[in-house]
Amino acid sequence: MNHHTDRRAADRGPSTTRGRTDGWAFLREAARDLRTTGAVAPSGRALARTVTDPIRVRAPRPLSVLEAGAGTGAITRALLPQLPRGSRLDLVEANPRFVARLHELLDAHPAPPARNTRVTVHQAYVEDLDTDRRYDVIVSGLPLTNFAPDRVERIMARYLDLLHPGGTLSYFAYLGTRRARTLLASRAEARRHAAVDEITAAYQHRYATGRWTVLANLPPAHVWELRRPDATGERADEQIGEQADQQSDEQAGARR
Protein backbone atom coordinates (compact mmCIF):
# COMPACT_ATOMS: atom_id res chain seq x y z
CA MET A 1 0.00 0.00 0.00
CA ASN A 2 1.60 3.27 -1.12
CA HIS A 3 -0.94 5.61 -2.72
CA HIS A 4 -0.16 9.30 -3.04
CA THR A 5 -1.73 12.49 -4.36
CA ASP A 6 -0.18 15.89 -4.97
CA ARG A 7 -1.69 19.05 -3.54
CA ARG A 8 -0.58 22.62 -2.92
CA ALA A 9 0.21 23.64 0.66
CA ALA A 10 -2.19 25.35 3.06
CA ASP A 11 -1.60 28.83 4.46
CA ARG A 12 -4.60 29.21 6.79
CA GLY A 13 -5.17 27.63 10.17
CA PRO A 14 -8.11 25.44 11.30
CA SER A 15 -11.47 26.80 12.35
CA THR A 16 -13.12 25.93 15.62
CA THR A 17 -15.69 23.84 13.76
CA ARG A 18 -12.93 21.94 11.99
CA GLY A 19 -11.22 21.25 15.31
CA ARG A 20 -14.40 19.76 16.77
CA THR A 21 -14.96 17.63 13.66
CA ASP A 22 -11.41 16.29 13.79
CA GLY A 23 -11.84 15.53 17.48
CA TRP A 24 -14.89 13.36 16.77
CA ALA A 25 -13.06 11.65 13.90
CA PHE A 26 -10.17 10.81 16.17
CA LEU A 27 -12.51 9.48 18.84
CA ARG A 28 -14.25 7.21 16.32
CA GLU A 29 -10.93 5.83 15.03
CA ALA A 30 -9.69 5.31 18.59
CA ALA A 31 -12.83 3.30 19.30
CA ARG A 32 -12.10 1.17 16.22
CA ASP A 33 -8.44 0.58 17.08
CA LEU A 34 -6.67 2.53 19.81
CA ARG A 35 -3.43 0.64 19.10
CA THR A 36 -3.00 2.32 15.70
CA THR A 37 -4.69 5.64 16.48
CA GLY A 38 -2.77 6.14 19.74
CA ALA A 39 -4.95 8.82 21.37
CA VAL A 40 -8.56 9.82 21.82
CA ALA A 41 -7.96 13.39 20.58
CA PRO A 42 -5.75 15.04 17.95
CA SER A 43 -2.64 16.92 19.05
CA GLY A 44 -3.28 20.33 20.59
CA ARG A 45 -1.79 23.60 19.33
CA ALA A 46 0.97 23.74 21.96
CA LEU A 47 2.18 20.24 21.07
CA ALA A 48 1.88 20.91 17.34
CA ARG A 49 3.95 24.08 17.66
CA THR A 50 6.66 22.40 19.73
CA VAL A 51 7.02 19.34 17.51
CA THR A 52 7.36 21.56 14.41
CA ASP A 53 10.05 23.81 15.92
CA PRO A 54 12.81 22.36 13.67
CA ILE A 55 11.04 23.89 10.65
CA ARG A 56 11.32 27.38 12.11
CA VAL A 57 14.92 26.83 13.15
CA ARG A 58 15.97 25.91 9.59
CA ALA A 59 13.99 28.61 7.76
CA PRO A 60 14.17 30.51 5.44
CA ARG A 61 15.91 28.12 3.04
CA PRO A 62 13.69 25.62 1.18
CA LEU A 63 13.23 22.37 3.09
CA SER A 64 12.27 18.79 2.37
CA VAL A 65 9.93 17.68 5.17
CA LEU A 66 8.17 14.41 5.99
CA GLU A 67 5.25 14.13 8.41
CA ALA A 68 4.56 10.53 9.45
CA GLY A 69 1.21 9.64 11.02
CA ALA A 70 -0.42 12.87 9.88
CA GLY A 71 -3.85 11.80 11.18
CA THR A 72 -6.55 14.42 10.61
CA GLY A 73 -3.97 17.16 10.06
CA ALA A 74 -3.66 18.81 13.50
CA ILE A 75 0.13 19.05 13.18
CA THR A 76 -0.07 19.52 9.41
CA ARG A 77 -2.04 22.74 9.87
CA ALA A 78 0.63 24.09 12.22
CA LEU A 79 3.41 22.97 9.89
CA LEU A 80 2.17 24.25 6.53
CA PRO A 81 2.34 28.03 7.18
CA GLN A 82 5.91 27.62 8.45
CA LEU A 83 7.28 25.99 5.31
CA PRO A 84 9.73 28.32 3.56
CA ARG A 85 9.11 29.22 -0.07
CA GLY A 86 10.05 26.40 -2.43
CA SER A 87 9.79 23.64 0.20
CA ARG A 88 8.34 20.15 -0.25
CA LEU A 89 6.19 18.28 2.27
CA ASP A 90 5.33 14.57 2.16
CA LEU A 91 2.42 13.50 4.40
CA VAL A 92 2.29 9.80 5.28
CA GLU A 93 -0.85 8.27 6.80
CA ALA A 94 -2.03 4.65 6.69
CA ASN A 95 -5.65 5.16 7.84
CA PRO A 96 -7.76 5.72 4.68
CA ARG A 97 -10.36 7.80 6.55
CA PHE A 98 -7.65 10.14 7.86
CA VAL A 99 -6.13 10.30 4.37
CA ALA A 100 -9.48 11.53 3.05
CA ARG A 101 -9.48 14.28 5.70
CA LEU A 102 -5.98 15.35 4.70
CA HIS A 103 -7.12 15.70 1.09
CA GLU A 104 -10.09 17.79 2.27
CA LEU A 105 -7.78 19.99 4.32
CA LEU A 106 -5.46 20.67 1.38
CA ASP A 107 -8.32 21.21 -1.06
CA ALA A 108 -9.98 23.72 1.26
CA HIS A 109 -6.84 25.76 1.91
CA PRO A 110 -4.69 25.97 -1.23
CA ALA A 111 -1.53 28.05 -1.00
CA PRO A 112 -0.86 30.98 -3.37
CA PRO A 113 1.11 29.77 -6.41
CA ALA A 114 3.89 32.22 -5.52
CA ARG A 115 4.77 30.09 -2.50
CA ASN A 116 5.84 27.26 -4.82
CA THR A 117 5.36 24.77 -1.97
CA ARG A 118 4.41 21.24 -2.95
CA VAL A 119 2.61 18.72 -0.75
CA THR A 120 2.16 15.00 -1.47
CA VAL A 121 -0.17 12.73 0.52
CA HIS A 122 0.90 9.08 0.72
CA GLN A 123 -1.43 6.38 2.02
CA ALA A 124 1.22 4.07 3.44
CA TYR A 125 3.04 2.87 6.53
CA VAL A 126 6.16 4.97 6.88
CA GLU A 127 8.42 1.93 7.22
CA ASP A 128 7.11 0.78 3.82
CA LEU A 129 7.28 4.20 2.12
CA ASP A 130 8.68 3.73 -1.38
CA THR A 131 10.91 6.75 -1.95
CA ASP A 132 14.52 7.66 -2.66
CA ARG A 133 13.99 11.14 -1.21
CA ARG A 134 15.91 12.29 1.87
CA TYR A 135 14.55 14.86 4.31
CA ASP A 136 15.85 17.82 6.29
CA VAL A 137 13.14 17.33 8.95
CA ILE A 138 10.86 14.43 9.85
CA VAL A 139 7.91 15.15 12.15
CA SER A 140 6.32 12.01 13.59
CA GLY A 141 2.89 11.66 15.13
CA LEU A 142 2.96 7.87 15.27
CA PRO A 143 1.91 6.21 18.58
CA LEU A 144 5.16 4.25 18.98
CA THR A 145 4.31 2.96 22.44
CA ASN A 146 1.26 1.20 20.96
CA PHE A 147 3.29 -0.84 18.46
CA ALA A 148 5.16 -4.13 18.68
CA PRO A 149 8.85 -3.67 19.55
CA ASP A 150 10.12 -5.03 16.22
CA ARG A 151 7.95 -2.55 14.34
CA VAL A 152 9.22 0.34 16.46
CA GLU A 153 12.78 -0.70 15.64
CA ARG A 154 11.96 -0.73 11.92
CA ILE A 155 10.30 2.68 12.11
CA MET A 156 13.15 4.34 14.01
CA ALA A 157 15.75 2.83 11.69
CA ARG A 158 13.73 4.00 8.68
CA TYR A 159 13.51 7.53 10.08
CA LEU A 160 17.30 7.73 10.40
CA ASP A 161 17.70 6.32 6.90
CA LEU A 162 15.28 8.88 5.43
CA LEU A 163 17.08 11.87 6.96
CA HIS A 164 19.82 13.82 5.25
CA PRO A 165 23.06 13.79 7.30
CA GLY A 166 22.49 16.50 9.90
CA GLY A 167 18.70 16.19 9.53
CA THR A 168 16.30 16.29 12.49
CA LEU A 169 13.62 13.86 13.67
CA SER A 170 10.99 15.44 15.93
CA TYR A 171 8.46 13.18 17.66
CA PHE A 172 6.40 13.03 20.83
CA ALA A 173 5.53 10.45 23.46
CA TYR A 174 2.64 10.76 25.88
CA LEU A 175 3.44 10.94 29.59
CA GLY A 176 2.40 8.23 32.01
CA THR A 177 1.54 5.52 29.49
CA ARG A 178 4.01 2.97 30.85
CA ARG A 179 2.84 3.44 34.43
CA ALA A 180 -0.80 3.19 33.35
CA ARG A 181 -0.15 -0.05 31.50
CA THR A 182 1.80 -1.44 34.45
CA LEU A 183 -1.21 -0.82 36.69
CA LEU A 184 -4.04 -1.67 34.31
CA ALA A 185 -2.81 -3.92 31.51
CA SER A 186 -1.74 -7.54 31.36
CA ARG A 187 1.81 -8.57 32.11
CA ALA A 188 2.42 -9.28 28.43
CA GLU A 189 1.25 -5.79 27.50
CA ALA A 190 3.43 -4.23 30.20
CA ARG A 191 6.45 -6.18 28.92
CA ARG A 192 5.74 -5.07 25.36
CA HIS A 193 5.60 -1.43 26.46
CA ALA A 194 8.85 -1.79 28.42
CA ALA A 195 10.57 -3.30 25.37
CA VAL A 196 9.43 -0.37 23.22
CA ASP A 197 10.75 2.06 25.84
CA GLU A 198 14.13 0.34 25.72
CA ILE A 199 14.31 0.72 21.94
CA THR A 200 13.38 4.41 21.93
CA ALA A 201 15.71 5.07 24.87
CA ALA A 202 18.62 3.60 22.90
CA TYR A 203 17.93 5.95 19.98
CA GLN A 204 17.52 8.89 22.35
CA HIS A 205 20.81 8.08 24.07
CA ARG A 206 22.66 8.00 20.76
CA TYR A 207 20.97 10.75 18.73
CA ALA A 208 18.91 13.08 20.98
CA THR A 209 19.67 16.80 20.94
CA GLY A 210 16.78 17.98 23.12
CA ARG A 211 13.58 17.13 24.98
CA TRP A 212 10.66 19.35 25.94
CA THR A 213 7.58 18.73 28.09
CA VAL A 214 4.21 19.97 26.81
CA LEU A 215 1.64 19.94 29.61
CA ALA A 216 -0.99 21.86 27.62
CA ASN A 217 -2.04 18.79 25.64
CA LEU A 218 -4.45 15.88 26.11
CA PRO A 219 -2.62 13.87 27.28
CA PRO A 220 0.61 15.76 28.20
CA ALA A 221 3.65 14.74 26.19
CA HIS A 222 7.42 14.85 25.86
CA VAL A 223 8.76 16.12 22.54
CA TRP A 224 12.10 14.62 21.47
CA GLU A 225 14.47 15.88 18.81
CA LEU A 226 16.98 13.42 17.35
CA ARG A 227 19.67 14.33 14.82
CA ARG A 228 21.25 12.09 12.24
CA PRO A 229 25.01 12.65 12.42
CA ASP A 230 26.51 14.56 9.52
CA ALA A 231 29.19 12.99 7.35
CA THR A 232 31.94 13.92 9.83
CA GLY A 233 29.98 12.45 12.73
CA GLU A 234 29.26 9.26 10.83
CA ARG A 235 32.95 8.81 10.01
CA ALA A 236 33.78 9.37 13.67
CA ASP A 237 31.25 6.71 14.69
CA GLU A 238 32.77 4.29 12.19
CA GLN A 239 36.27 4.97 13.54
CA ILE A 240 35.11 4.39 17.11
CA GLY A 241 33.49 1.13 16.03
CA GLU A 242 36.66 0.02 14.20
CA GLN A 243 38.79 0.88 17.24
CA ALA A 244 36.45 -1.08 19.51
CA ASP A 245 36.61 -4.08 17.16
CA GLN A 246 40.39 -3.87 17.05
CA GLN A 247 40.63 -3.70 20.84
CA SER A 248 38.29 -6.67 21.14
CA ASP A 249 40.41 -8.68 18.70
CA GLU A 250 43.59 -7.77 20.59
CA GLN A 251 42.04 -8.77 23.91
CA ALA A 252 40.83 -12.05 22.42
CA GLY A 253 44.33 -12.73 21.09
CA ALA A 254 45.88 -12.00 24.48
CA ARG A 255 43.56 -14.55 26.12
CA ARG A 256 44.54 -17.33 23.68
Q: Supply the DSSP symbol for 39.
A: -
Tens-digit pLDDT profile for residues 8-67: 444 434 444 455 555 555 456 544 554 455 454 567 899 999 999 999 999 999 999 999
How would you list the strands of the sheet with 64-68, edge to edge?
A: 3-8, 118-123, 88-93, 64-68, 135-140, 163-174, 221-227, 208-214
Per-residue model confidence (pLDDT) at position 198? 97
For residues 70 and 51, the answer to whether their CB atoms sit within 8 Å is: no
Give the pLDDT band (50/70/90) at residue 100. Answer: very high
H, E, C per residue of 87-111: CEEEEEECCHHHHHHHHHHHHHCCC
Tens-digit pLDDT profile for residues 229-255: 987 655 444 443 444 445 444 444 444
Section 168-191 average pLDDT: 84
Whether the predicted pLDDT of 167 surpasses 90: yes
Tens-digit pLDDT profile for residues 220-231: 999 999 999 987
Whether the predicted pLDDT of 3 surpasses 80: no
Phi and psi at residue 130, to the nearest 5°: -95, 95
Section 76-98 average pLDDT: 93
Three-state DSSP state, 210: strand
Per-residue model confidence (pLDDT) at position 14? 42
Per-residue model confidence (pLDDT) at position 33? 53
* Nearest residue to 80 (alpha-carbon basis) of 11, 4, 6, 141: 11
* Nearest residue to 10 (alpha-carbon basis) of 138, 98, 107: 107
Phi and psi at residue 60, to the nearest 5°: -100, 10
